[in-house]
Structure 1
Amino acid sequence: MSILAFPSRTPRSQWRNSRLFAQANNGSATIETLPSWFSFFTRFIVEVEAPVGTSVVLGSRLIPKALFESAAGRARLVAHLVKQTGELGFPYIPVGTPIAFNYIPGTTSVTPAWRTALWHLTGGSTWSYNSTLAEIRAALNATHSFVNEELAALAPDSGSYMNEGDVYESNHEYTYWGPNYERLLAIKKEIVLTLRIFWIAGDAVRW
């Protein structure tokens, strides 16, 4: 079923064309005039609305090209993927690293691990809208434990993409920023002092 909403001043010829099109394709058309947009919304939209989206927590790791260059590295990667699939479901592996870009060191703030990574390997846990607090915590713990114990061990000197990283990352300074962290922290402090910015961030490091 398709719903078309025409403004009140739409020529009747356009309504008629819509009906003819539906009939020509073995369909039918019903034309109604409603007093307001809200009437249309409650009549046709609210009745068929459905929840969308998923409650999910993610964790990820940038997997360096070097891991693919030896038989032992590839074997470790395959073993990891088998385990991750069993514990967290199928991994998400987008092809999005800038490994082929002619990068000049020091020209961007993101972790240099991006420049040597062939994969951005992601996994996660989900829960339902009616999950209990214990079930939600179990999902969070499952992803956090797997990222910190398995993914980090697979590529210990690499890092992670912050937007899809573990929200409870144990070593977020290095994992997200690598050797750039101290320089970025110094820049932030300088800006804060210059602009006299003050804010409070709970449980943050050196804010």
Structure 2
Amino acid sequence: MKPIPVIALLLSVAALAIAINRKDSPALSESPVSDSVLQAEVEDLRQRLAVLEALGRPAALEETEAPFLEKRIEELSSQQQDIAELALSIDSLGVIETQERELVNAYNILVDEKRPAWERAKQARLLKRYGQFDQGAVDSMWKLFSDPKKPYDQAAALLALKGLVTREHRDDVLTALNLEVENGFENGRLRYYGIEA
């Protein structure tokens, strides 16, 4: 039984016991008004108890939905078992190991200054997706931005740094954009990625 109907039942029994005790005492038996008040309270408590029991245990609803709920519980249990088996088999296929190897390779490419700038910048997306774009990667990209070897190196660095430009580095980006304007808009990629960053 649920706790609310039990509590209501106990309250009604207590009220009834109090009413009987007061009825037996000579001082209270002379006052018919208090008896009627107590009887009204007892009746009110009984009505509340009936309402709470109706809310607490919808028998018709339970009977009609019980088979559906049991079937749904069995389906969920089966799905949970399938997920557990799949999780155990993933590691045997080497998926996690392969992913870790790809992330290490991507990080090594990103920080390798001998690699082309765009190849380095493209690795940032993978590293960001898995939360591996750390301060070392940011510093490597800022170094690429600060010391460009080719005209599009700064744009590649800004592609990798999208969303990570701090107030301190924003001035460097604005300076690079101003130089681009002074040079006659030769590097459209720098403008595009500079605005995005």
TM-score interval for Structure 1 and Structure 2 normalised by the shorter chain: under 0.3
The higher radius of gyration belongs to 2
Q: Normalised by the size of structure 2, how large is the TM-score?
A: 0.24
Q: What is the TM-score when the length of structure 1 is the normalising length? A: 0.23
* Structure with the higher fraction of residues in helix conformation: 2
Bigger proportion of residues as strand: 1
Structure number with greater CO (CA < 8 Å, separation at least 6) is 1
